[in-house]
Amino acid sequence: NTVFATDLDRINVLGSGNGGTVFKVRNKTNSEIYALKKVKEYMDSAFRSQLLRETEIPRLVDSPYVVKCHEIFQNPLGEEVSILMEYMDLGTLESLRGEVVTEKQLASMARQVLEGLNYLHELKIVHRDIKPGNLLRNSKEEIKIADFGVSKIMVKSLDKCNSFTGTCAYMSPERLNSEADGVTEEDKSNVYAGDIWSYGLTMVEMLVGYFPLLPQGHKPDRATIICAVCFGEPPKAPEECSDELKSFIDCCLRKKPSERWTASQLLSHPFLVHRD
């Protein structure tokens, strides 16, 4: 059941980010709804061929915890690329910002994202851009990881960290400051731990309702974030949380990547295990 680009009717724009614009689309032949991400045009031909190579990755990935990529469309010269994805009707976790989540809700969310990360890490795929804006929800109470693989290439090409503070905000200390004293070659090669940091930060944000490295309402800028991540203490779960939750967050947000738990270790953490 291949979907062709010509089968699709655009319904509306769902949003746009650094990488392009996402549309809600309907397949005329069977009324199925999808999300279609139109990747921005890139000038650089080396980058373009890399994009085409790496867009193969999402097609290989098949997990209930990762947004399914159905097709990748490209025009003959390859300068226009669109990705046809599973539609997630409740949008990103960013829309939950400021809402109060209970520990039980957080545990359910935390477990699903972790299952997705564990799946990707087992396939040796690093996401590199875990943040509320790349985690999508649907009304079946499912949460799935979006934008992997593709986001990795875009980071390289657009140097997001310089152009868009929102993205470097979730980067681990070792990625922000790879020259720092005490960062070993082993730390640098442990790229999976970078995803765990971003994940931990995202979970604290869901819990407290704002980006946890800065005072509430503070607009992030690159310098403040680097200072907070590299020289400050890692964020913690609030005092009133359970000990299991506090420990869970602590295991994600250790500054030394080698001390951070892996996705598979975190899946058997008491915060996720002693629930429901």
Binding site for ligand ATP (CB under 6 A): 14-20, 22, 35, 37, 67, 85-88, 91-92, 133-134, 136, 146-147, 151, 167
> Residue 7 binds which one of Mg ion, ligand ATP, none, with CB within 5 to 8 A depending on kind?
none
> Residue 266 binds which one of ligand ATP, Mg ion, none, with CB within 5 to 8 A depending on kind?
none
Q: What is the 3-state secondary structure (H, E, C) of the chain?
A: CCCCHHHEEEEEEEEECCCEEEEEEEECCCCCEEEEEEECCCCCHHHHHHHHHHCHHHHHCCCCCECCEEEEEECCCCCCEEEEEECCCCEEHHHHCCCCCCHHHHHHHHHHHHHHHHHHHHCCCCCCCCCHHHEEECCCCCEEECCCCHHHHHHHHHCHHHHCHHHHCCCCHHHHCCCCCCCCHHHHHCCHHHHHHHHHHHHHHHHHCCCCCCCCCCCCCHHHHHHHHHHCCCCCCCCCCCHHHHHHHHHHCCCCHHHCCCHHHHHCCHHHHCCC
List, by residue number, the catalytic residues: 129
C-beta closer to ligand ATP: residue 15 or 209: 15
Residue sitting closest to Mg ion (CB): 147
C-beta closer to Mg ion: residue 17 or 116: 17
- Name the segment binding Mg ion (CB under 5 A); options: 14-22, 61-69, 71-79, 256-264: 14-22
C-beta closer to ligand ATP: residue 33 or 180: 33
C-beta closer to ligand ATP: residue 152 or 275: 152
Residue 55 found at the interface with Mg ion (CB under 5 A): no
From the CB of 137, what's the least distance to ligand ATP, in Å?
Answer: 9
Listed residue (85, 77, 81, 72) closest to 34, CA to CA: 85
Residue sitting closest to ligand ATP (CB): 17
Q: Is 246 annotated as a binding residue?
A: no
Residue 147 found at the interface with Mg ion (CB under 5 A): yes
From the CB of 169, what's the least distance to Mg ion, in Å?
Answer: 14
Residue 134 found at the interface with Mg ion (CB under 5 A): yes
List binding-site positions for ATP: 37
Q: For binding to Mg ion (CB under 5 A), which residues are involved?
A: 17, 134, 147
